[in-house]
Amino acid sequence: MNRTVFMDADGTLVESAPAHDPTQLRLIPAARRGLMRLVREGFSIVIVANQSGIAHGKFPESMMPSVQSRLSDLFAPMGAHLAGFYYCPHHPEGSVRQFAIHCECRKPAAGLILRAAEELSVEPAETWMVGDTLDDVEAGNRAGCRTILLDNGNETEWRMDGKRWPGAVVTDLDRAVPLILGTEVAEVRRTS
Ligand SMILES: [Mg+2]
Ligand SMILES: [Zn+2]
């Protein structure tokens, strides 16, 4: 069975931190609990993150490997393996010319998730996308994932349309786990 959860990073897994300093990244406590439970159940975690700070010249793309390794270090004590780290460096109004484009990978577009799914050979419909904004939800819906919104105050615009309705809404990652596991259980029962 495919056990992959795509996740946003900022506000979903890690506290919003000064973006230029990966050593400042910290797991949100409820995210740590949720991660531990997912990992125990054999789920792979794949991060899909907008990093428009690169396009805006706030930090260089060359910093991304240290962000990824910091995240891997945060996962390691839980026995969790970061199965993928995908980011979009673009923003249409960026100041760094090479990244100042309309791309297919910046959430709410689905490109980042679709690329990850392709490279990791997972079927989006069997996965989850979890994030703290409706742009995360829309990206997940467009990619064909099941979606969960973490309503923790970071979404403030609530611009809803057909592609932005989450499959479920909870307040933190720990509370998303029963939904993810519940669907798994339901599918096992249905197919056995
Ligand atoms: Mg976020
Ligand atoms: Zn992009």
Give tens-digit pLDDT for 14-68: 997 666 788 889 999 999 999 999 999 999 999 999 999 999 999 999 999 999 9
pTM score above 0.95:
no
Nearest one of 35, 33, 34, 16 to 25, comparing CA atoms: 16
Verify whether residue 161 is a known catalytic residue.
no
Instruction: Report how far ligand 2's centroid is from the alpha carbon of 99 (Å).
Output: 8
The pLDDT mean for the chain works out to 93
**Domains in the chain with CATH codes:** 4-152+166-191 (3.40.50.1000)
Q: Does position 192 have pLDDT exceeding 70, yes or no?
A: no
Cα(10) to centroid(ligand 1), Å: 4
User: Of residues 8, 132, 135, 172, which has the active-site annotation?
Assistant: 8
Which ligand does the CA of 51 lie closest to? 2
Identify whether 108 is preceded by a cis peptide bond (ω within 30 of 0): yes
Distance 105 CA to ligand 2 centre (A): 4
